[in-house]
Chains A and B, each alone.
Chain A
Amino acid sequence: MNLSVTLPGMKLDNPIIPASGCFGFGYEFAEYYDINILGSFSFKGTTLEERFGNKTPRIAESTSGMLNAIGLQNPGVNNVLKIELEKLKKVYNKKVIANIGGSTIEDYIEAVKIISKSDIVGAIELNISCPNVKEGGIGFGTNKETAAKLTRLVKEATNLPVYVKLSPNVTNIGEIAVAVEEAGADAISMINTLVGMRINLKTGKPVLANTYGGFSGPAIKPVALKMVHEVYKQVSIPIIGIGGIMNAYDVIEMMYAGATAVQIGTANLINPYASKEIIDQLPQVMKELGIKDLNNIIGRAHK
């Protein structure tokens, strides 16, 4: 039985990657289990300067999902490099994916240059899809020219593979995927959260201080599957499938849609052991479905 898959610059023992924003800088989860069992993980979205994020409440829930409007709270790339990644190294000996956000192209490039100095970073994940910050973030991910320009300039600024994380909040995700592939992206991670809101029935006011937030969880899985399926037809670079994966069956389904690896987001917040449990469950589900090698099932839904 083979669970290992390959992403540009990274050979993974299994396709399970905790998603950015749902796994801190990893060491927080090392209190609960040995995080070296993971394929890899994508660390908390990091920007050039420190950010405090949005006002609270930053969290709301909905049927089979949750909304968040954190607003990229992070200690800034220099502190991540000097403090957070040093703490991580004590408990983790694999490569990590560096999720980088920004307000301007210059910010992205500067942050990518700094984080590329770390020997523990295996790839850059460009966050051009954060729905919760006023400037940048999603602004870079909803326009194909801007997305392509940013990808090209970041590629020139680093020797590491660059994965681009796409927003589902667009009319045509395929054309953005094609544009970043042409600009040199090595892989695509998709999807980020869907923009949504909840309203308090007693006060009539939005629940989130930011009014809108990113909707995630099992409720969005069908949307993510469809988008991965759609993009798989249009690009030849690997896709990291993200969206509502809660168990090993969901992993297989996402790989059938066209994902080479998957990211686990919200599931980690409900259950800190979620990613470990999915890894433990995977061989048994593969056996049940008669799968010997995960590499053979990527894009099966297209055949």
Chain B
Amino acid sequence: MSNLYTVLSNELIAYKTYKMVLHGDTKNIKAPGQFINIKIDHPNTFLRRPISINDYDETTLTIIYKVFGEGTEILSKTKRFTTLDILSPLGNGFTIKETKKQLLIGGGVGVPPLYSVAKELVKRNIEFDVVLGFNNKYDVFLEGMFRSLGANVYVTTMDGTYGYKGNVIDLIKSKNLYFDYYYACGPEKMLHALVKEDYVGQLSFEERMGCGFGACMGCSHKTITSYKRICKEGPVLESSEVLL
């Protein structure tokens, strides 16, 4: 599980947002929505940094991350051909359901794992639309990638500087988007707002983690049935089990 990966590229794609392609073992990745945990070689970043997998193939995996603190700052300066110590893959990803019309709902840096979901839906011939929410026009990324899969993509920004103005739920309602199942990833506020609606789907949560593989209980969320470790039983939970 602990493996060395080589950085093939690490480029800025939006405001403080980087896309990194890594070369290494990807054969154990089972589902879209799983994540990796990266060791950042600095005494101030003692814990690993968990980041969702955006895309993967036989030999490479791609992550998209935003610089929020010291760890991601160091990561953003990582040069090509640097070797990184990474635990991969971790967690359970999304379970693809066979329904008629689905919706992918991404908020900010929660957008990346949905790209793998979209690829899987294309493979299975499941019809879907995409809703992406960002703070402003400088934050927007991946819109074109989703479009290239042939999906209808709706982008909204909180300040209205790009696409529609408002949050993702405002957009879903104003556009009257029809869907019978959704996959979502984004800030907890957005996920909780989705759970309050009558929609059914799966949501990928974020949490501060100690280990990332189920040992420390640092990321437990209480759900309707039991507690679940976001890193181990999660990060994806069913909308019906989320406790608000």
Interface set of A (CB-CB < 8 Å, partner B): 21-24, 28-29, 31-32, 44, 52-53, 56-66, 68, 70, 73, 217, 268-273
Contacts and interface: CB of A to CB of B under 8 A. Distances in A.
A60 B216 CA distance: 13
A272 B207 contact: no
A274 B176 CA distance: 53
Contact of A268 (B2, B39, B215, B217): B215
Interface in B206-224: 207-211, 213-222
B222 A70 contact: no
Contact of A60 (B43, B208, B217, B219): B208
Given A58-B210, A217-B46, 19 more contacts: A24-B214, A28-B214, A32-B1, A52-B220, A56-B218, A56-B220, A56-B221, A57-B208, A61-B47, A63-B46, A64-B43, A66-B46, A68-B218, A70-B218, A268-B211, A269-B210, A269-B216, A272-B87, A272-B213
A62 B46 contact: yes
Contacts of B217: 21, 44, 53, 58, 70, 73
A56 B207 contact: yes
Interface residues of B, number: 26
Prevailing SS type, chain B contact patch: loop
Interface string B12-53: 000000000000000000000000000100011111100000
B227 interface: yes
B219 A56 contact: yes
7 contacts: A56-B219, A57-B207, A59-B209, A61-B47, A64-B46, A272-B1, A272-B211
B1 A52 contact: no
Contact of B208 (A53, A58, A63): A58
A73 B227 CA distance: 9
B215 A70 contact: no
B44 A63 contact: yes
B72 to A, nearest CB: 13
Nearest to A71: B217
A52 B39 CA distance: 29
A73 B217 CA distance: 7
A28 B229 CA distance: 13
Interface in B199-244: 207-211, 213-222, 227
A110 B213 CA distance: 31
A66 B210 contact: yes
A129 B145 CA distance: 52
A52 B208 contact: no
A24 B87 CA distance: 18
Contacts of A66: 46-47, 210
